[in-house]
Structure 1
């Protein structure tokens, strides 16, 4: 079974908090969560004390908290990342027992690694897991984590940034297709990343790192490269877009910045590819219908 789509959202709503409380009342869910009682009590106090629809800032005290959503935007769990100097620790919970065994955990680990290494710039990511929590141990080990130390109460598994980058290039995620980027586009986008700031830029860096790099004169003509125009199916809507650099972006003219959600999403995919991608507040289901114009295919290598 392929690993399902999971996205991590940093915004925590009041409804999310109520869902978390329901999960934490299940003893099977909290069995291996060391601070579950404290967390549940804290959430209950927050809900009773604060009459706000968005509670993100309260959940990010002492670390970063993310709700995990499936492709239908239904919450399936949460991930907490705590920075400790150059390193980071990950806590992962899949909250509904009906979702256990469906590989949501592996998908959430993958997204957590992306955030830890590309956005939080961790040198090492650590997971501390109870020895009897076999399901969680196997999920982290299959994701490439290595055993580091062990006590009767905890096994510590670790992923270094160097190992993560190597695995990202060698072992593409099973839920996504290969993507392709030309040598010229990669160099230009690398320079862009060094200058740009924003919440989406780490997604672009991740895509560049996992992409297969090709000679501009040998890239297939049905691949979306920079300055390509393509016909997309976004959810139920057909749209024509051009993939451009930020300074040329114009949403009204269908010119999408490569730093935007859908702009980053389509880079490197080819005709017929279909995939899910999280943009703020929702998941988009995207299909590359047709590449209408590609600079490399047209011989416009100056673009």
Structure 2
């Protein structure tokens, strides 16, 4: 891990904690397990102000190119739950893939326990779009 632990911007951290608390972690047991792991990782995350946030860390609305163990590369965007759109590769933070990547940076390889089993995902590229401060944070 490039920075040693997850890095989250302060407002995004607060927002994420709120949606994890009210989501009940999800109905699906496997997704629930992934979100509980994210919640545990948040306990040791490095929380920073917007100005200190590295540009290569996956956060809300980041576009990330990831490579799976199978060799498949995919470009996705991690979004708040209400903005999810699977057809346009907009993945909710409340999905196993969204929760696996959030707070990691370009160059990191994430080992995550997905419903289909453990998988390594390599983060190839991270590009930033609008941050949470630029969007409505209402749940």
Question: What is the TM-score with the length of structure 1 in the denominator?
Answer: 0.39
1:302 and 2:134 aligned: yes
Mapped partners of 1:213, 1:249: distance in 2? 25
> 1:295 offset after TM fit, Å?
3.5
Whether the 8 Å contact between 2:35 and 2:96 is mirrored in structure 1 is: no
Q: Is the 8 A contact 2:111 2:119 kept in 1?
A: yes
Q: How does 1:164-175 map to 2 (within 5 A)?
A: none
Question: Is structure 2 residue 44 aligned with structure 1 residue 183?
Answer: no
Residues 177, 273 of structure 1: 8 Å contact kept: no
Aligned length: 126
Which residue in the other structure is 1:245 paired with? Answer: 80
Q: Say yes or no: does 1:267 pair with 2:98.
A: no
2:28 is the alignment partner of 1:196: no
1:288 Cα offset (Å): 0.8
What pairs up with 1:95-106 in 2 under 5 angstroms? none
* Unaligned stretches of 5+ residues in structure 1: 1-173
Between 277-286 and 195-204, the greater mean CA deviation after superposition:
195-204
**2:68 is the counterpart of 1:234:** yes
Residue 287 of structure 1 corresponds to 122
CA RMSD of aligned residues (A): 2.0
How many angstroms apart in 2 are the aligned matches of 1:232 and 1:190?
A: 25
